[in-house]
Amino acid sequence: MGIRFGAVGLTFFLSTILFSLTISASNDGLVRVGLKKLKQDQNNRVAARLESEEGEELKASIRKYHFRHRHGYTTDTDIVELKNYMDAQYFGEIGVGTPPQNFTVIFDTGSSNLWVPSAKCYFSVPCYFHSKYKASLSSTYKKNGKSAAIKYGTGAISGFFSEDNVKIGDLIVKDQEFIEATREPSVTFLVAKFDGILGLGFKEISVGNATPVWYNMVKQGLVKEPVFSFWLNRNLQEEEGGEIVFGGVDPKHYKGQHTYVPVSQKGYWQFDMGDVLIDGKESGYCSGGCSAIADSGTSVLAGPTTVVTMINHAIGAKGVVSQECKAVVEQYGQTIIDLLLAEAHPKKICSQIGLCTFDGTRGVSGGIESVVDEKDGRSSGLHDAMCSACEMAVVWMQNQLRQNQTQDRILKYVNELCERLPSPMGESAVDCGGISSMPSVSFTIAGKAFDLSPKEYILKVGEGAAAQCISGFTGLDIPPPRGPLWILGDMFMGRYHTVFDYGKLRIGFAEAA
């Protein structure tokens, strides 16, 4: 049997690709972090398969992408990131303490804390396979002791805060607050090639309200400008993995000019995005606007299941057949079309025909556990699969009606989309031989279409007859007001050089050189 993706695929990446770091500070005042690649190790596939047997708790954390918050963003509990390590990730080495103790970390724009394993991690097996921070060996260590916990899509860590100097290249960030991880309960961290994570997001999502490393780099005057940029080399044949530039941008990394879009909500590097185009045609789902996050800690592209299913249909990806979806089309398809033609409010159709028990104004229900009616305490039924399937069918049918398709063609098309729904783990396989004939997929940012070719959004694992190809699109349903939301990970950032302008609160994209 071939390698299983989903839970296995997440860890498969972790166990197969490692990027080593070289850092330099040139005479132009920029700090460069070079990234290199280590090709996959067949032996590590065995460890990757262990992930599929770890248990339902971790699998549930991979399936569900909850953005937990109390008053906006949480600062005292956790953050939940989408981490789907199925392709290239980017690692580097930093030093913590005096003299520096070296750790390999992910530079992650989708989180905001720095954490490394602690020498006081006694009861978690993963800690024994990674470098551990020893406070007693550092002359600049300062005790903090405040507890901390972070939950990611592929696992969780917990521990306590400490303060020490952090070395990035020749730069020394003084008195940096970071987490000493004393518990890493996931197999994900057992097989991971990295020791910890260095978050480059905003302080608003920093656990414990800790000041991020990047903030201190700016505050302590260590960088030329309050800007950092990513160039990710997606050519798997080349050893060089890319480069992160702190303090500005390197003109050699991009072509033309950057298209800038303002940060719409601080926390993640989030911005407003327009519609998604499939082979140049609008999907219709984000025509009223969606949000997106540029996330260097995510390998793939995640977005509303409704649109991901349309993309998977267009590229011939095969997911798990959803019986609920097909049942909705069979029993209610014609009624939905009739209501759309009668100009009924699209978001209220599913409640009108009795498949949803709310008023249809709260958006797509997928990913929400439950919403309780304050008046009588009854569940609103948002978790119901038929309700979610109905909501997707309405969007698909509405888009087809705009294209003046016949009713028979619409019902057939929606049935086909049901068969393209991603599996519970999010993955969908494609025929490696058909990549050249697949359509482009484009994201509209600041009124401009940013295209991805099939080679750029398909993950290919292995060579020859043993090769497997996976759609780089995975379903992620976040409701309003935070959603609909897209996560543009390394697939997108590899195609487009990305500038994170902290000073002007904007993000820039230009064709990577």
Give the catalytic positions in this structure. Answer: 108, 295
Residues facing residue 231 across a β-bridge? 243
How far apart CA 443 and CA 87 sit, in angstroms, is 20
- The number of residues in the chain equals 513
Helix 323-341 vs helix 385-402: crossing angle, to nearest 10: 50
Nearest to 48 by CA among 99, 9, 105: 9
CA 323 to chain CA centroid, Å, is: 28
Nearest to 244 by CA among 505, 19, 11: 19
Cβ proximity of 144 and 77 under 8 Å? no
**Residues sharing a CB contact under 8 Å with residue 173, sequence separation 6 or more, in sequence order:** 165, 166, 167, 213, 216, 217, 220, 222
CB atoms under 10 Å from CB of 412, counted, come to 14
Residues facing residue 155 across a β-bridge? 152
Surface-to-core class of residue 462, CB atoms within 10 Å of its CB (0-12 exposed, 13-18 middle, 19+ buried): middle
How far apart CA 344 and CA 336 sit, in angstroms, is 9
70 three-class SS:
coil
Nearest to 210 by CA among 143, 161, 171: 161
Cβ proximity of 275 and 444 under 8 Å? yes
Give the angle 271-277-279 at the CA atoms, nearest 5°. 150
